[in-house]
Amino acid sequence: MKDSSYKRHLAKTITWRIVGTIDTIVLSCIISGNPFTGLKIGFSEVITKMVLYYLHERTWFKINLSKDGKVLESKKRHIAKTLTWRFIGTLDTIILAWIISGDPLTGLKIGFAEVITKMLLYYLHERTWYKINYGLDERRK
């Protein structure tokens, strides 16, 4: 693949991190009851999540889950990507929230609350990017 796919994946990484960080901050503030804890958790994730998301995106770009040489139908692929990313993202959130709050239960509460909101937001993000041609030399079929 050409270098343009890297630009696309970087742009997807940045846009997803913006959406994800806002969601984490809101949930962390509500669950911890402390806006500063929420901000610390949300902003601490920016670096870890961008690196993890970029690696996840590059891995999925290289995975060919096809039958007869055709890429798996986009909605099924996006659901699979959603589930794998959510596992990685939730684990990262739980660990960071636990460290920052000092309470493992707070980490678990925030992590599990995100499972629902983030899966829905991620799926919508994937569907939106599927319709955008930025960084594609040609749309994969």
- Residues near 125 by beta carbon (within 8 Å), at least 6 away in sequence: 12, 15, 16, 19
In a domain, 141, yes or no: no
Banded model confidence at residue 102, pLDDT cuts 50, 70, 90: very high
In a domain, 13, yes or no: yes
Query: What integer best gives the mean pLDDT of the chain?
Result: 86
In a domain, 70, yes or no: no
- Residues near 56 by beta carbon (within 8 Å), at least 6 away in sequence: 81, 84, 85, 88
In a domain, 135, yes or no: no
In a domain, 8, yes or no: yes
Banded model confidence at residue 15, pLDDT cuts 50, 70, 90: very high
More confident residue, 8 or 103: 103
In a domain, 69, yes or no: no
How confident is the model at residue 137, as a pLDDT?
72
Average pLDDT over residues 88-94: 93
pLDDT at residue 24 tops 90: yes
Q: How many domains are contained in the chain?
A: 1
pLDDT at residue 28 tops 60: yes
In a domain, 37, yes or no: yes
How confident is the model at residue 47, as a pLDDT?
87
How confident is the model at residue 56, as a pLDDT?
92
**Domain membership of residue 30 as a residue range:** 4-61+78-130
Average pLDDT over residues 85-99: 93
In a domain, 67, yes or no: no
Q: What is the pLDDT of residues 108-125, one digit of tens each?
A: 999 999 988 988 998 899
